[in-house]
Structure 1
Amino acid sequence: MDRPLHSVRTRLDDFLAELATLHYRHGAGLSPTLPVSSLYASFPELSSPDTFAAANEALAKARTKDDPLAVRRLQLLRELVATQVEEALGARPAEAVATLEAQSQLPVDDRTLSLAEALDELPRESHRDRRTLLERAVGNFLWERRGPYGDRREAALITAERLGAKDYPSLREDITGIAYGKLVEAAAETLRRTEDAYRDVLGYVLKKVDPQLRPFPAGEARRHDLQHALQAPWMFPFFRREDTFPAVTRWLGEWDLTPNANGRIRIDDEARPGKAPRPFVASVRVPDEVRLVIQPRGGMDALAGFLHEMGHAQHRAHVSETLPMELRRLGDASVTEAYAALFERLLLSPSWLKRYLDLPTVTARDTVRLAAFQALAVLRRHCAKLSYELSLSRRGPSAERADEYADGQRQALFVEPHPGFFLHDVDPQLYTAHYLRAWALETRLTARLTERFNEDYWRNPAAAAWLRGLFARGGTDDAEGLATEVSGTPLAVPEAGERLVAILNR
């Protein structure tokens, strides 16, 4: 039974490098297709139920020998194999979706846009009537062509059956250790504790973009109105692209880091047709070849995205190269998402904004409140998505799930969503749970940094050295263990929401 695991360990690094390269080329606009099926065919052991069974057996043996390192490596390998079983089953639908989106043509007024172009324009469009047309065009396109998206979601149900689990959430809970029931309760409590503050500020930002807009249920604001408001277009003059990139570079330099991590991070900021509108990181080789892909644009949202992905990139580029392969390449996604959020949350520091962007005091204060609202909207959106995605992964992608999706988003965000997004606005492998745990962990990390290095820890090289020490541990830590180590207390999602509410109430 050890033979398939040996093969996985021998070839895993090459597989992940090829997979990351495919996603990089597709997301960077260098390839309209995403040919993952042939890759899985070349590495059959990585997506084999027999390999999963071998990992189960090896993990059980390791636990009897009191070998924490071996247990951790096998836990990560087991999660990877289960994920790749699902990804292989969903490879052809994923390719079909990529082709469909690359060839899409959506008529909007007198123009024809691809799906990616329409999604990119939607939040940035200043005219409400045109945003309505864009949202309707995208939502209808996704609804009418929901088959391939649904096929990809069906892969999760088939995976649970192939691997002998009761259902998909039970499988993911077994391999990740995440207690989804408790997390759903925490998400519901977060929604309750943050509702009043969120609604108050929502009314303010909607009026900033259109004095006639009001939140649901009394008003008629739609999801696209919130998306546009979250761009904070009235703040654009303070966040020009030509200012924000040098600001981040200067900050990293003063913090004893560099944007390219001494050549390990390659930044792709070239404007290119077909390039993903949101920045992302592709970890080709860890730690030596990490690619950060961004669109060259300004605005608060663009800066937040850049900081977030820079956090991912710096983490990957500082993983110790001496770690076993599993600990270099794999890990609890909540941890790396927490590091990314830690960088993004610099927008909650008025001192950072004044020092590196030279913002006036009043503008810095307004930026902090807007950044807190942006973060809270995203937190509430994912709190609602968790229950929906658990339901989707149990019941399958039937049309009834569209109403369930829309109801959850409406109640969380107080705007009207388009139900056509119900299979598009989904994170694979219940990744929403990792985001929620990450934001809880980031709250603990920030508190520890502030306690140990003061509120301006972001300018203290000793704080960066402490963080690099955590980065170097790669996949050694899980989110719960790291939270307990740095704070002595477990993760608490509601506290992440309350922190943002406290900023909004200042």
Structure 2
Amino acid sequence: MKVEEIRKQGENLISDLGKYYLRKGLGKEIKEELREIYSKYKGIFTKENIENLKCNENLSFREKKYLLSFLFQGYIGKECFELTREIAQRELQTLVEVDKGEISLKYAQLLLPAEKNREKRLALDKKLGEGQAGINALREKRVDILKRIATDFGYRNYVELIHDITPVNFNTLKELGKKFLTQTETKYTTLLKKLEGYYLEEGSEPLQKSDITYIFKSNPFDKYFSDIELIPTIEDTLFRLGINILEQNNVTLSLDPKEGKAIKSFCCPVSIPDEIHLVLNPKGGIEDYQDSLHETGHCQHYAYTSKDLPFEYKRIGDKSVGEGYGYLFQQLIANELWIDKFLDMDEDTLTKYKVFIDGYNLYIIRRFCGKLLYELEIFSGPKEDKTLKEKYVKIMEEAVKVKVNPENYLLDLDIGFNTSNYLRAWIFESYLREYLVNNFGGLWFLKKESGDFLKNLWKSGSMYRTEEIVENIGFKDFNIDVMIKYFVI
């Protein structure tokens, strides 16, 4: 298949998938299954296309890397499709006993963070682990498939394959992750102790991951994040940046609560930049504001992307770039100046909230640092490693400083290495924020000049790597120091 045909079919496939997920997210009738959509484009994700593209000398290094990323991701998804489907079915078929009877493992996982009684919460976590243990053999087969694909294409391991098709330098990122864990440990453990004292009843058991998720889900600050004020707050924030989302002809907003509509906000770029859908389902609370602001960042990135860019720069590119723009808006809920402007939170509450939100952000980032270290162990190690469970427990407990369920050692795994994209996105966001504060002041989110700066960046879609953008806006190198500064200084 020629490159132009790959681009054309790739755009059509992603557009069709966008329409599918949009209808599903809006609670509308689904006309066709995912399998049917992929079957229409089965000629794209072939070994022959990948090998031919590797040998193509008419493409730039950047074009080839991004197109190879698209083909490999599709090929890997195709090879793992049936097994992934079987895993999902087993999660629905495996039953877990709770107070109200037996429910599926998948839905029992959603109950865990909401269980107030610590004894019951720990017991449920144990049952969830027992349920996952029965599915881990399937997940091991999927890991084996990924390792086999890597060797089939001549790579030493799966890490080397991903390194070849993405902008990630795993050796560098690994060291940055280790540095973040080391230099934020004192601050994190202090915040963790405060959170435990504030929000947990005393118990003899060591602090568990389920305790942390309970703290973050059942917090006393949700009432300050009103469902009624969510949409006006987003509209006003964008308006101050010089963006009137209500007048963006290429952005369709779905804002009304509706039965069957997705609970979480999402952005669906059916065609970039011509048809972008932002779907919000206001229910209030910190998590709702986080998700909605994050998806707003994606929406504006897509909406201002240049129409003239080729497929690989609009649709593929460096995924950390788009996530970084999402985090820039999401992190406004941790910005005291933004909170003072848009939320009704008194000074004493704000002080307690900062302990909460900084603890939350540190936990999430440290967890992803641990996940990266663990995933590198899985995918760069020997084909059969019987010590993965032990490695998972050791690495993750050192990262988050709480006990984890050993049976989640393959559940808590991103087979696409998106963990690395999120880590680079957080680093990228810290540089963006630093630039905006240095050039437009702490109230940068109220200034049209800040919006003009962002619009100019958004034009290039995801063509440039995060490292390139950081250098282009005046920073000498791409490291973890700026992000660390926001937590420990």
TM score, norm. by length of structure 2: 0.91
For the residues of structure 2 that align with 1:187 and 1:345, how far apart are their CA atoms? 20
**Paired position in structure 1 for 2:134:** 144
Structure with greater helix share of residues: 1
**Does 2:190 match 1:204?**
no
Contact 2:24 2:30 in 1 (8 A): yes
For the residues of structure 2 that align with 1:287 and 1:116, how far apart are their CA atoms? 36
In structure 2, which of residues 268, 284, 289 is the aligned counterpart of residue 303 of structure 1? Answer: 289
Query: Which of 185-194 and 266-275 deviates more?
Result: 266-275
- CA distances 1:105-128 after superposition (whole Å, capped 9, x unpaired): 432122333444333332233222
Counterparts in 2 of 1:391 and 1:46: CA distance versus 1, 3 Å = farther
SS at match of 1:327: helix
Supply the AA of the counterpart residue of 2:430: T
For the residues of structure 1 that align with 2:116 and 2:29, how far apart are their CA atoms? 31
In structure 2, which of residues 399, 420, 434 is the aligned counterpart of residue 447 of structure 1? Answer: 434
**Paired position in structure 2 for 1:65:** none
Q: Structure 2: state its 5+ residue gaps.
A: none
In structure 2, which of residues 92, 97, 100 is the aligned counterpart of residue 107 of structure 1? Answer: 97
- CA distances 1:166-189 after superposition (whole Å, capped 9, x unpaired): 111111112224221221111111
Contact 1:193 1:494 in 2 (8 A): no
C-alpha displacement of 1:192: 0.6
In structure 2, which of residues 384, 391, 394 is the aligned counterpart of residue 404 of structure 1? Answer: 391
**Paired position in structure 1 for 2:46:** 48
**Paired position in structure 2 for 1:84:** 74
C-alpha displacement of 1:456: 0.5
- CA distances 1:213-262 after superposition (whole Å, capped 9, x unpaired): 69xxxx61110111122236121222232233432232223323345644
Supply the AA of the counterpart residue of 2:460: R
C-alpha displacement of 1:193: 0.5
SS at match of 1:281: strand
SS at match of 1:423: coil
C-alpha displacement of 1:288: 3.0
In structure 1, which of residues 135, 153, 158 is the aligned counterpart of residue 143 of structure 2? Answer: 153
C-alpha displacement of 1:8: 0.6
SS at match of 1:45: coil
For the residues of structure 2 that align with 1:487 and 1:362, how far apart are their CA atoms? 37
In structure 1, which of residues 334, 342, 347 is the aligned counterpart of residue 320 of structure 2? Answer: 334
For the residues of structure 1 that align with 2:461 and 2:374, how far apart are their CA atoms? 31
For the residues of structure 1 that align with 2:356 and 2:117, how far apart are their CA atoms? 21
C-alpha displacement of 1:263: 5.0
For the residues of structure 1 that align with 2:102 and 2:152, how far apart are their CA atoms? 42
Q: Structure 1: state its 5+ residue gaps.
A: 63-69
Contact 1:439 1:493 in 2 (8 A): no
Matches within 5 A, 1:39-438: 39-58=37-56, 60-62=57-59, 70-103=60-93, 105-212=95-202, 220-231=206-217, 233-258=219-244, 261-262=248-249, 264-267=251-254, 270=257, 275=262, 279-293=265-279, 296-394=282-380, 395=382, 400-438=387-425
SS at match of 2:331: helix
SS at match of 2:269: strand
Contact 1:90 1:151 in 2 (8 A): no
Identity %: 23
Contact 2:242 2:448 in 1 (8 A): yes
**Does 2:475 match 1:488?**
yes
Counterparts in 2 of 1:129 and 1:429: CA distance versus 1, 3 Å = same
Contact 1:161 1:167 in 2 (8 A): yes
Contact 1:335 1:479 in 2 (8 A): yes
Supply the AA of the counterpart residue of 2:396: Q
Contact 2:301 2:325 in 1 (8 A): yes
Q: RMSD of the TM alignment (CA)?
A: 2.7
SS at match of 2:43: helix
**Does 2:454 match 1:467?**
yes
SS at match of 1:427: coil
Supply the AA of the counterpart residue of 2:443: D
SS at match of 1:320: coil
C-alpha displacement of 1:494: 4.5
C-alpha displacement of 1:432: 0.8
Equivalenced residues, count: 487
Counterparts in 2 of 1:268 and 1:115: CA distance versus 1, 3 Å = farther
TM score, norm. by length of structure 1: 0.88
